[in-house]
Amino acid sequence: QVQVVESGGGLVQAGDSLRLSCAFSGDSFTIYHMGWFRQAPGKEREIVATINWSGHATYYTDSVEGRFTISRDNTKNTMSLQMNSTKPEDWAVYYCAAKFASGSDYKSAFQYWGQGTQVTVSS
């Protein structure tokens, strides 16, 4: 059974950096696209960044483009999100997600979700 577990959340001041990690287990990591999503209080969950199975294709939502970097290590079954120049609007619970790579779409229809890690950005 596929499991994904996030770590690395915490409290930072606006402008600081934070790195989130996601550990994958239960299947072959390289046949899964991966992604980060977030949900702020009172808002719907939204996509943050996604990466395809090989790591050669990435997608970022406009609000984090140029500040966040998604990456994966297929030798360690891990994915990361480097968050730089954080803003108060980045305050949310961040979720790691996995999608079986049956096709080239690596931006939607994720099947496996972690429990989330809280990121708090103070102004």
pLDDT tens sequence for the chain (123 residues) = 999 999 999 999 999 999 999 999 999 999 999 999 999 999 999 999 999 999 999 999 999 999 999 999 999 999 999 999 999 999 999 999 999 998 889 999 999 999 999 999 999
Size of the chain, expressed as the number of residues it contains: 123
Q: What is the pLDDT of residue 54?
A: 96
- Residue 13: strand pairing partners: 122
Number of alpha helices (DSSP H) and beta strands (DSSP E) in the chain: 0, 11
Q: How far, in Å, CA of 10 to CA of 118, rounded?
A: 6
Find the DSSP H helices in the chain. none
